């Protein structure tokens, strides 16, 4: 199996790059952040606090999660319900980051990710793929960019979706999420020792995609 791990903080361009790499190689892209978002969405829908370890643990006992693809787009089905349309709401980012700090959530989702990686050739993006989920991945990339640049990209992304957003608020959210994701106890956001770090602050997306594809091809040739 080919498994390519693309990790890094929020807004570093992981999903755009991972999608392009998967397309180029003709393999599947797995957005692991969406799995944490879907878990957070389900907790909220059931009136469970995303930081309540006992409540979330109870919920997980019967929770089923299926990752399926419709016209190439990933859909996360939780307990038979397609959560995908609800996962990109602004408040879901913080909720996903909070719920992802609970060990019971990480273990459940990491099991699913490892099973998928055993079955399919994948490009996975996340925070802990290279360090924890798949330490033997064929190729590991760690994307970084300054918090200011990532906030600028997020504001522009929102603008293209027709949503106006305040740069200072977006920047504060990004810094808070960086802190949460890299200070949790289990599998925090961290570069794997054998990952190639790429700072995308001054690069355009096509430049990043090109650089990552050539790194991947070099590693898996």
Alpha carbon distance 145, 108 (integer Å): 30
Binding mask 41-80 for ligand DC (x = CB under 6 A): ----------------------------------------
Q: Are 4 and 16 in contact (CB under 8 A)?
A: no
Classify the C-alpha dihedral 115-118-120-125 as positive or negative: positive
Q: Are 177 and 36 in contact (CB under 8 A)?
A: no
Q: Which is nearer to ligand DC, 151 or 218 (CB)?
A: 151
90-100 vs 167-183: helix axis angle to the nearest 10?
A: 10
Q: Which is nearer to ligand DC, 13 or 126 (CB)?
A: 126
Least distance (Å) between residue 188 CB and ligand DC: 8
- Return the residue of 6, 10, 56, 216 that touches ligand DC, per CB under 6 A: 10
Q: Assess 144 for contact with ligand DC (CB under 6 A).
A: no
Alpha carbon distance 104, 39 (integer Å): 11
Q: Assess 127 for contact with ligand DC (CB under 6 A).
A: yes
Least distance (Å) between residue 221 CB and ligand DC: 27
Q: Which is nearer to ligand DC, 31 or 209 (CB)?
A: 31
Alpha carbon distance 107, 69 (integer Å): 23
Q: Assess 84 for contact with ligand DC (CB under 6 A).
A: no
- Return the residue of 20, 177, 209, 216 that touches ligand DC, per CB under 6 A: 177
Q: Which is nearer to ligand DC, 84 or 100 (CB)?
A: 100
Residues 21 to 40: which contact ligand DC by CB under 6 A? Answer: 32-33, 36-37
Alpha carbon distance 129, 190 (integer Å): 10
Of 22-30, 41-49, 61-69, 95-103: span binding ligand DC (CB under 6 A): 95-103
Q: Assess 126 for contact with ligand DC (CB under 6 A).
A: yes
Contacts with ligand DC by CB under 6 A lie at: 10, 32-33, 36-37, 93, 96-97, 100, 126-129, 177, 181
């Amino acid at each position: 199996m080919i498994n390519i791990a693309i990790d890094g903080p929020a807004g570093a361009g992981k999903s755009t790059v991972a999608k392009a790499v998967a397309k180029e190689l003709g393999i599947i892209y797995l957005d692991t952040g969406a799995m944490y978002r879907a878990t957070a969405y389900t907790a909220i829908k059931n009136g469970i606090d995303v930081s309540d370890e006992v409540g979330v643990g109870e919920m997980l006992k019967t929770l089923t999660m299926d990752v399926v693809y419709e016209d190439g787009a990933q859909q996360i089905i939780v307990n038979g319900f397609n959560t995908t349309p609800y996962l990109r709401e602004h408040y879901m980012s913080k909720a996903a980051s909070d719920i992802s700090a609970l060990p019971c959530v990480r273990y459940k989702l990491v099991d699913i990710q490892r099973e998928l990686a055993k079955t399919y050739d994948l490009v996975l993006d996340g925070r802990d793929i290279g360090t924890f989920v798949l330490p033997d991945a064929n190729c590991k990339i760690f994307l970084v960019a300054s918090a200011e640049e990532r906030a600028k990209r997020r504001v522009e992304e929102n603008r293209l979706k027709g949503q106006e957003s305040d740069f200072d608020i977006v920047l504060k959210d990004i810094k808070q999420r960086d802190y949460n994701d890299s200070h949790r106890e289990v599998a925090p956001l961290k570069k794997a020792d054998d990952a190639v770090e790429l700072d995308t602050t001054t690069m355009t997306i096509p430049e990043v995609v090109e650089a990552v594809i050539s790194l991947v091809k070099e590693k898996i040739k």
